[in-house]
Amino acid sequence: MNYKSTRNDTISISSAQAIAQGLSHEGGLFVPEKLPVITEKDITQLCGKSYKDRAFGIFKLFLTDFTDEEIGDCVTKAYGDNFDTENIADISHLLQGTYILELWHGPTCAFKDMALQILPHLLTVSARKTISDKEIAILVATSGDTGKAALEGFKNVSGTTISVFYPEEGVSDMQKRQMATQEGDNVFVCAVKGNFDDCQNGVKSIFTDKDIARELDGIGVVLSSANSINWGRLCPQIVYYISAYAELLKNGEISFGEKINIVVPTGNFGNILAAYYAKKMGLPVNKLICASNANNILTDFIKTGIYDRNRDFYTTISPSMDILISSNLERLLYHMSDGDTALINNWFNSLKETGRYEVTDNVKKKISEEFYAGYCSDAETKAAIKDCFESYSYLMDTHTAVAYKVYNEYKDNTGDMTKTLIASTANPYKFGAAVYEAVGGSCDGLDEFTIIDRLQEKTGTVIPQALASTKNKEIRFKGVIERDMMAQTVMNFLKK
Ligand SMILES: *Cc1c(COP(=O)(O)O)cnc(C)c1O
């Protein structure tokens, strides 16, 4: 199976090329030419398998230029003891017919691990098949979770280095600490004076700088991305929705062919797009519910068909969703417009020039048939955490709480009682201060470790080992730079 670009019809490349390259040269994203189909029989067969074997089966459908050995090796390295549960993604029951898919049992306690534990292996196999012996230099702009998850995924993977930039004021203390204490010989971390979009723009301009590319080529280095536009990030995310469905079926929670809703706290639109792909492949899914925080550009878009980034940017207590450019939306628009690359080019040129585009009525209608969208303020997020903990003794993080709140609103508005899976994207201790305040604590004057100790005492839940252990680790990266210093800083690291 080959991959096409959302902006150029004539491109058709293998999965290894799509993963090694990340982004198409003209700026488009790679999408599968034709989605593979999974039947009810296929899903039933997955029921008896481990997460790793389910992943193997699904990867085989998408990565047709990989051998079985290569896929097997990648999934074995990715989904093992580095997760703190044998199931890799556990499902918790909140109440009758509402399930929480816990995607945060990996080494950094956020859902990005689900993809970033396997991406380095997919990428090194892909590079071997396509660009041979060059060293791969990964550049990442992060609003917090991607950076740490990418660092953990790539640390000490031979033939790779990784450089991560994060907004100095845009991540939680724990996220900062997790990144600053990162171990590994091939890693670099730096804070930037600016917001997430500044970091992302800085990284993008390094990628498109011809002088930098030439200079790096001279020392045998090629740049690549681990951001969620890479097909190697999306594909692993499709796996857990299909796996979760198989798990619910196996446990008798749903019956054969029964449709479920999926709720996803959304930023860059990667996670929810993976759920859409699972549905398009044949997974019985009713509505996809897209939940945003105060940066509610996607809510407006799904309701009006107008994407308009000319608006204020808010720093919220769910910082991994503080995004005004949801890159993966481009893939959805490509599919919804039946692969009309001319339309995609129009819209994204318009976004670049005016910060805005409006899709056709047809596309707007199709999107509203598949998706429901809502958003939630910080105060509502905290109230949701409190409500859920008091009602069900289940402690959610701030991102998951946004999804929970929007889902409750959806149920109230529509009366839809379809069984529902809520994607839980981070462990609550990762955003300990906001969660502690939500359940009635006060963080005044407390450092992040005291806060999580208090949260543990107050709620009787357990601090994950991966977070507790950062306390005694050495701070290795203290740098803070101006926006315009990103290129030079990366080059200094890469030329060392
Ligand atoms: C990245 C992230 C999200 C947003 O996911 P997208 O794929 O960018 O929509 C939500 N919650 C957490 C905790 C995250 O780290």
DSSP readout, 447-481? -HHHHHHHHHHHH-----HHHHGGGGS------EE
> What residue ranges line ligand 1, CB within 6 angstroms?
110-112, 145, 228, 265-271, 320-321, 399, 425-426
CA of residue 145 to ligand 1 center, whole Å: 8
CA-based max dimension of the chain: 62
Stretches where the chain sits below pLDDT 50 are none
Q: Which residues contact 39 (CB under 8 A, 6 or more apart)?
A: 282
Q: Which residues contact 358 (CB under 8 A, 6 or more apart)?
A: 305, 306, 307
Testing ligand 1's pocket by substitution, the residue of 381, 402, 425, 427 carrying the most ligand atoms inside 8 A of its CB is 425
Residues 226-265 pLDDT 10s: 878 899 999 999 999 999 999 999 999 999 999 999 999 9
Q: What pLDDT does 440 receive? A: 97
DSSP state string for 410-442: HHHHH-----EEEEE-B-GGGGHHHHHHHTT--
Q: Which two tokens stand for residue 296?
A: 């509610």
The DSSP secondary-structure symbol of 29 reads: B
Residue 134 identity (one-letter amino acid):
K
- Cα 473 from Cα 236, distance rounded (Å): 30
Q: What pLDDT does 134 receive? A: 86
Testing ligand 1's pocket by substitution, the residue of 100, 113, 399 carrying the most ligand atoms inside 8 A of its CB is 399
Q: Given 4, 49, 112, 478, which residue is catalytic?
A: 112
Residue whose CA lies nearest to ligand 1 atom number 2: 320
Q: Are the C-beta atoms of 198 and 483 separated by less than 8 Å?
A: yes
Residue 430 identity (one-letter amino acid):
K
Category of 311 on φ-ψ map: left (φ > 0), alpha (ψ -120 to 50) or beta: beta
CA of residue 168 to ligand 1 center, whole Å: 19
Q: What pLDDT does 471 receive? A: 86
Residues 355-409 pLDDT 10s: 999 999 999 999 999 999 999 999 999 999 999 999 999 999 999 999 999 999 9
Residue whose CA lies nearest to ligand 1 atom number 11: 425
CA of residue 83 to ligand 1 center, whole Å: 19
* Whether 112 is catalytic: yes
- Cα 95 from Cα 348, distance rounded (Å): 42
Residue whose CA lies nearest to ligand 1 atom number 1: 320
